[in-house]
A and B are shown apart, each in its own frame.
Chain A
Amino acid sequence: MQISTENKGPALLIRLCGRLDAATSPEFEKRALEAVSLGSIRIIIDLAGLEYVSSAGLRCFLILAKKVRASGGALAVCGLAGMVSEVFQISGFQNLFPAGATVDDALRLLGTGEAQRDPGKERQ
């Protein structure tokens, strides 16, 4: 699994690619919680590149969400598709986090206002 991070205005964007299973989720959890401890409390997780998530991965999202909420922040997800979307529905996790189709949607859901500064949107 590949984990990449990027600052999106006041939010931290974490992109996950590949498979988040019982073997790979500890590494994701460790890196995400480190980011929170360094001050990132508005987090977007982009799942568009994720093809597989097991309950071990879902628990990481839950732990991360509790951590950022406890710090006064929020977590949103985007890019849910295929089996990952199905697993979110089965587990009821689609109701636990704000979910957008795109990163911009997720930014809006976090209320950062960052998406409104999208030049493409300003031209419309």
Chain B
Amino acid sequence: MSAKPAPEVTLQVTADLSLVLLVNAFTEQASLALGLGSAEALALTLASEEVFSHACRVAAPGCATRLAARGKGYRVEVELSFAARGFDLRALNLTSNVRADDEESLEEMGLVIASRLVDRLSVGDSRDGATLVLAKDRVYPPGEHVEPVTPRTRGPLSVRPAVSEEVKLVAGLARAAGSPEAVPESLAFPGKVVDQVAAGDSNVLVAASPGGHLAGAVLWRWASPRTVEFHGPFLFSAPPGPSDPPEGGPGRLLTEALVSAVARTRAVGLLTRNPTEALPRESFERLGTLDTRAGDAWVETPAYFRLLHEDPGSTAWAHRELEGFLGREYDRLVLPRDLRLTSDGGERLAPHSVLATEFRRGRSEAVLRPLRAGDDAAENLSAHVELLANEGLASVLFEMDVAAAWQARFTPGLLALGFRPRLLIPYGGQGDLVVFQRVGT
């Protein structure tokens, strides 16, 4: 989804533990060369060793293994692909722990360590085998507090991409100007935003006077192969009223420039889940709302969407208990979809499901994303919810991609635990994304 191809280094070996030093050297040297600091490179090396060692234990002798390290400046990903299927990856769940008196648990200890040492982890299965992608981010210093300044230059505003020092300034100004719910946590590290922009993974547009005063900004990135998500517009001086941005004001100027820029890409839609007061809402469709923690209170935060190109239509797979919600939303949003219900034909499933967990502690929120279905889907969900509640998180989201029929298996468990479908994001994943939310304990 990035505009620029990431540099890549690859290694092909057989799954043989005697080659672990070669695998470690590859991961560490590639991580350093691709931009990680020594501590992050070492953590990624250890995670890679654990996954490779696990594969050596469970894969058939001589199983082909491919490692590919990709650098984005701010992040390095190591993809490990094995020509073998059926790995039990339950140890990647946040709820997994190690019991020293249990040999089976000790066998999975490496995967538990790997999953906790990386910043992101994804799992893929194909006809050719299994793939795990481990990602580690560079460590950046937090940004300093930035005081909004009164403009001393005048003249008509124009919108253009921000240059690197401006990107850092925008990060600081947006944090100072925006409500905490509307400002992405990533802006706490301005240097990282600069590197994300350089990698083509983020974009920053500023409304500036001819003299260079920044009156506002909007940030955007790819949320999925066909949807762009934006934050803002953030206004840094003379903010307009909540419902009536002045004609040609920075909020409207930025939004129009954003739509124009994204419309030139392959994106089908433009999304915001954290709109600011400066967003001209009449230019967007309201998707639904999520409850967001703001201090001690809950705020209902709407999400907005704009279709940029003709929707070619797609198939959506759903459990029958989600049919009503999806049918209503597809009708309301006039989205051409073939809604298909999944069924239980008694086919065999993997015994254990796997969920990825993203923490958004600043919002007292966590996001669960399914990596694999399994017979224990409901129990696994329940264990995650209990753990997250014990961590003091007030809200748990679950993102279900309706292009992947296997994800529908989580629906009964979600509803039984009190999750409710709140948002349908067109093309928010490989297909449409249903966002469930559970608030409170």
A54 engages B42 (CB within 8 Å) = no
* CB-nearest residue of chain B to A95: B100
Minimum CB–CB distance from A65 to chain B (whole Å) comes to 9
Residues of the B chain whose Cβ atoms lie less than 8 Å from the Cβ of A90: 112-113, 116-117
B20 engages A22 (CB within 8 Å) = yes
Q: What is the 8 Å Cβ interface bit string for chain B, positions 264-282, against chain A (1 contact, 0 not)?
A: 0000000000000000000
B97 engages A92 (CB within 8 Å) = yes
Q: What is the 8 Å Cβ interface bit string for chain B, positions 73-95, against chain A (1 contact, 0 not)?
A: 00000000000000000000000
* CB-nearest residue of chain B to A91: B98
Q: Which of A51, A52, A54, A62 contacts B100 (CB 8 A)?
A: A62
- Would you call the interface of chain A mostly helix, strand, loop, or mixed? helix
Given A83-B42, A93-B100, are A21 and B24 neighbors across the interface (CB < 8 Å)? yes
- Is B109 interfacial (CB 8 A cutoff)? yes
- Is A3 interfacial (CB 8 A cutoff)? no
Q: How large is the interface on A (under 10, 10 to 19, 20 to 34, 35 or more residues)?
A: 20 to 34
Apart from A22-B49, A22-B53, A23-B20, list 7 A-B contacts with CB within 8 A: A21-B49, A23-B21, A52-B45, A52-B46, A56-B110, A87-B113, A90-B116
Residues of the A chain whose Cβ atoms lie less than 8 Å from the Cβ of B116: 90
- Is A59 interfacial (CB 8 A cutoff)? yes
- Is B50 interfacial (CB 8 A cutoff)? yes
Question: Please, how many angstroms separate the alpha-carbon atoms of A23 and B19 in the complex?
Answer: 9
Residues of the A chain whose Cβ atoms lie less than 8 Å from the Cβ of B99: 92
Q: What is the 8 Å Cβ interface bit string for chain A, positions 54-71, against chain B (1 contact, 0 not)?
A: 111011001000000000
- Is A101 interfacial (CB 8 A cutoff)? no
Chain B contact residue count (CB 8 A cutoff):
23
- Is A86 interfacial (CB 8 A cutoff)? yes
* CB-nearest residue of chain B to A58: B109
Residues of the A chain whose Cβ atoms lie less than 8 Å from the Cβ of B106: 55, 59, 62
Question: Please, how many angstroms separate the alpha-carbon atoms of A48 and B113 in the complex?
Answer: 20
* CB-nearest residue of chain B to A55: B110
Q: Which of A22, A59, A86, A91 contacts B17 (CB 8 A)?
A: A22
Q: Which of B39, B98, B113 contacts A54 (CB 8 A)?
A: B113
Minimum CB–CB distance from B110 to chain A (whole Å) comes to 4
Q: What is the 8 Å Cβ interface bit string for chain A, positions 3-25, against chain B (1 contact, 0 not)?
A: 00000000000000000011100
- Is B43 interfacial (CB 8 A cutoff)? yes
A91 engages B109 (CB within 8 Å) = yes
A-B contact pairs, 26 of them (CB 8 A): A21-B20, A21-B24, A21-B49, A23-B20, A23-B24, A52-B45, A54-B46, A54-B110, A55-B50, A56-B110, A58-B109, A59-B106, A62-B106, A82-B39, A83-B42, A83-B43, A83-B117, A86-B117, A87-B46, A87-B117, A90-B112, A91-B98, A91-B113, A92-B98, A92-B99, A92-B100
